[in-house]
Amino acid sequence: MLKIILCFLVIFSSIQANSEPLALKDWKQPHSEKAVYFTRYTSILNCEKKTPRYVYYNLLPEDFNGETDRKHWWSNKIPEKIKAVCGNNYAVDKDYRHSGYSRGHLNPSANYKASKDYMKETYSFANAAPQEQSFNGGLWKAIENTERKLAGKHSGITVITGVIHTGSTYKIKNDISVPVYFYKIVLWKDGQGNIHNLAWLVENDKPDKGIKPGAMLVDINTIENISGLDFID
């Protein structure tokens, strides 16, 4: 019996050690015709709502092991790469000022504490949507911390983070739609090539006091059904 247990532990440990992010061929990228590419992530834009539809990236432990401090790198200019996809009418920094909503990162800046250049690239409105302020600094931040822990545990992960506007009636300046939901999907392959995932779906509202990320876990199919997007088979 002891030999069996030890054998299981060795195999399990090996699977964990050999975990890795997904390749693009391992999952679907819906609406990829609206893609804007950055060094460490890709954003799929929703030009009508003036927010990303979702962003995706591979996150490695070495990305966030550093001392780079975040700064206010938001801009009032629409970058040419966004203009090429959505034209001249898209979100800029002044649209969010005094709106009552945070500029909610989909790919968090804290993921790139090892590189100022990579961190600075997250300060794009191709990577942000209006987010309730206490949600942004509380539960969503805790989910982002969990994301980085998973990246460390599995030697790298694939992350899909997006927003859902279905049923939204709120807008800030420049007719920027306020999402109803934010979601995050984390995927990785184990040493045997099996794909695993964890997914969170959270209303864009002030969360209940003391609520933890584990309470917001859902089946990935729930996100796909509500968003109308299909990510994995």
Could you report the average pLDDT of every consecutive run of 10 residues in the chain (233 residues)? Answer: 38 57 95 98 98 98 95 96 98 97 98 97 98 97 98 97 96 98 97 95 95 97 97 90
User: CATH: 3.10.20.600, 3.40.630.30, 3.40.50.300, 3.40.570.10. Which one for 2-227?
Assistant: 3.40.570.10
Comparing CA positions, the residue from 164, 161, 163, 159 lying closest to residue 149 is: 159
Query: What is residue 33's predicted lDDT score, i.e. its pLDDT?
Result: 97
How far apart (Å, rounded) are the C-alpha atoms in residues 30 and 190?
A: 24
CA atoms within 13 A on the CB side of 37: 3
Q: Do 69 and 155 contact (CB within 8 A), yes or no?
A: no
